[in-house]
């Protein structure tokens, strides 16, 4: 798979149809305010609601919600790792007791969950296209002094279900300046996760496809999987660690004497941290470390970090850092490629 294949994948990620649901959901705040519209979802301590008389999506602080009602289907995830699918209502409890969300998982079955234990709510449906979440971020920098230009693109699509989820993310950067060859980097990340019976444990498969002109990598494919656990999963932070095995194949380019593809069997260690503040900012840090088993001492590291600030509605500003390191690259090849980018983004679904 060459660069143009990766670009095609990016184009597919950008095409995410959005279909509205009935705006008959009810949200009642602790101060008595009543909102009738479409509950988009709960993420990072923020309940997103679409109203007919307001453009875009309104953001509501989850801890300020007193009552919710919806006949639509949702996937509800708790701090303990339990997951339920059903319609939403609020239990009638004495005023001195915490509010409870009832999830109707069947015609005669309801599960009551204390509101503070609910950390995520995703829309789901019998309609395939209504299950997607994601975002698109783009940016550009130009300097007249040395005629330098930098473009960056990042897109993410998520497909959540009750016990499993899948996502695809594509990132691309292009930098050029007078007197220097253009520099390009393209990365496609695929991920699928399945929850296990034990609270907050899961197994996950990953696929990473990288092209980097700085490291003279024509295509580097990494496939792996392992078992992980959420160490923290609340309305203001999420942290997980993963351990497993991976296989990596790298084809290099641009050398006078081309070298054969390099294959690595490696241990896999991955982690992700997310910290967020109600409807304001979000900080994401993800890293994958691959110590080679068939070449002791060689380690590959891939890292992506992003900081988001919400401007209004579904529009965000972000600054990102990416990096890819190889402690023992082929002779005369660069062992590192890293950089920063910034731009505006647009979110859809429960993002």
206-240 pLDDT, tens digit each:
999 999 998 999 999 999 999 999 998 887 888 99
Residue 239 placed within a domain: yes
Residues 118 and 259 both lie in one domain: no
Domain end marker among 94, 111, 129: 129
Residue 278 has pLDDT above 80, yes or no: no
Q: Which two tokens stand for residue 245?
A: 């095995």
Give me the number of domains the chain comprises.
Answer: 2
Determine the 3-state secondary structure of 12 from DSSP: helix
Residues 153 and 105 both lie in one domain: no
Read off the DSSP letter of residue 323: E
Residue 201 has pLDDT above 90, yes or no: yes
Residue 149 placed within a domain: yes
Distances (CA, A) of 17 to 23, 129, 269: 18, 6, 34
- Cβ 249 vs Cβ 257: under 8 Å: no
Residues 92 and 147 both lie in one domain: no
Residue 133 has pLDDT above 90, yes or no: no
Residue 93 has pLDDT above 60, yes or no: yes
Query: Is the dihedral angle over the CA atoms 114, 120, 121, 127 positive or is it negative?
Result: negative
Residues 91 and 162 both lie in one domain: no
Residues 202 and 320 both lie in one domain: yes
Please name the residues in contact with 238: beta carbons below 8 A apart, sequence gap of 6 or more.
Answer: 119, 230, 232, 272, 273, 274
180 HSE (CA, 13 A, CB side):
13
Residue 103 placed within a domain: yes
Determine the 3-state secondary structure of 215 from DSSP: coil
Which residues constitute the domain of residue 164? 3-15+132-348
Residue 20 placed within a domain: no
Neighbours of 337 (CB within 10 A): 20
Residue 19 has pLDDT above 50, yes or no: no
Tell me: the pLDDT tens digits for 174-192?
888 877 778 899 999 999 9
Share of the chain above pLDDT 70, in %: 87
Residues 111 and 216 both lie in one domain: no
Task: Residue 248: give its domain's CATH number.
Answer: 2.40.160.40
Chain mean pLDDT for the chain: 84
SS3 content of the chain, % helix, strand, coil (to 5): 5, 65, 30
Least confident of 148-157, 283-292, 340-349: 340-349
Residues 192 and 275 both lie in one domain: yes
Tell me: the pLDDT tens digits for 307-338?
988 887 678 898 999 999 999 998 888 899 99
181 HSE (CA, 13 A, CB side):
6
Supply the pLDDT for residue 105.
84
Supply the pLDDT for residue 251.
92
- Residue 175, strand partner residues: 150, 183
Report the length, in residues, of the chain.
351
Residues 137 and 114 both lie in one domain: no
Supply the pLDDT for residue 255.
57
Domain end marker among 73, 101, 129: 129
Task: Please name the helix (run of DSSP H) or strand (run of DSSP E) that holds residue 241, with its range, or none.
Answer: strand 237-252
Please name the residues in contact with 325: beta carbons below 8 A apart, sequence gap of 6 or more.
Answer: 299, 300, 301, 302, 335, 336, 338
Supply the pLDDT for residue 13.
46
- Residue 270, strand partner residues: 242, 288
Residues 110 and 171 both lie in one domain: no
- Cβ 109 vs Cβ 60: under 8 Å: no
- Cβ 136 vs Cβ 345: under 8 Å: yes
């Amino acid at each position: 798979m060459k660069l143009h294949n990766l670009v095609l994948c990016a184009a597919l990620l950008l095409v995410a149809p959005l279909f509205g649901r009935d705006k008959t959901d009810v949200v009642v705040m602790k101060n008595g305010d009543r909102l009738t519209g479409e509950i988009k979802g709960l993420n990072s301590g923020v309940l997103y609601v679409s109203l007919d008389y307001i453009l875009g999506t309104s953001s509501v602080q989850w801890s300020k919600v007193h009552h919710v009602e919806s006949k639509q289907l949702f996937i509800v995830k708790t701090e303990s790792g339990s997951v339920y699918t059903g319609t939403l209502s609020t239990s009638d409890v004495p005023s001195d007791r915490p509010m409870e969300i009832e999830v109707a998982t069947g015609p005669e079955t309801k599960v009551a969950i204390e509101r503070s234990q609910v950390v995520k709510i995703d829309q789901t449906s019998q309609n395939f296209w209504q299950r997607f979440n994601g975002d698109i971020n783009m940016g550009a920098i130009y300097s007249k002094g040395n005629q330098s230009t930098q473009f960056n693109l990042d897109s993410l699509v998520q497909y959540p279900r009750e016990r499993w989820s899948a996502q695809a993310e594509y990132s691309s950067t292009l930098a050029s300046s007078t007197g220097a060859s253009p520099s390009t980097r393209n990365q496609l990340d695929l991920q699928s996760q399945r929850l296990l019976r034990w609270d907050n444990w899961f197994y996950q498969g990953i696929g990473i496809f990288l092209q980097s002109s700085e490291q003279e990598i024509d295509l580097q494919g990494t496939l792996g999987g392992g078992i992980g656990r959420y160490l923290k999963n609340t309305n203001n932070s999420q942290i997980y660690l993963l351990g497993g095995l991976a296989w990596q194949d790298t084809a290099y380019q641009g050398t006078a004497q081309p070298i054969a593809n390099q294959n690595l069997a490696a241990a896999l260690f991955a982690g992700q941290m997310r910290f967020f503040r109600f409807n304001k900012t979000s900080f994401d840090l993800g890293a994958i470390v691959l110590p080679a088993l068939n070449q002791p001492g060689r380690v590959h590291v891939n890292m992506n970090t992003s900081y988001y600030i919400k401007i209004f509605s579904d529009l965000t500003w972000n600054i990102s850092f990416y990096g890819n390191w190889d402690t023992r690259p082929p002779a005369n090849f660069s062992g590192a490629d890293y950089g920063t980018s910034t731009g505006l983004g647009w979110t859809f679904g429960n993002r």
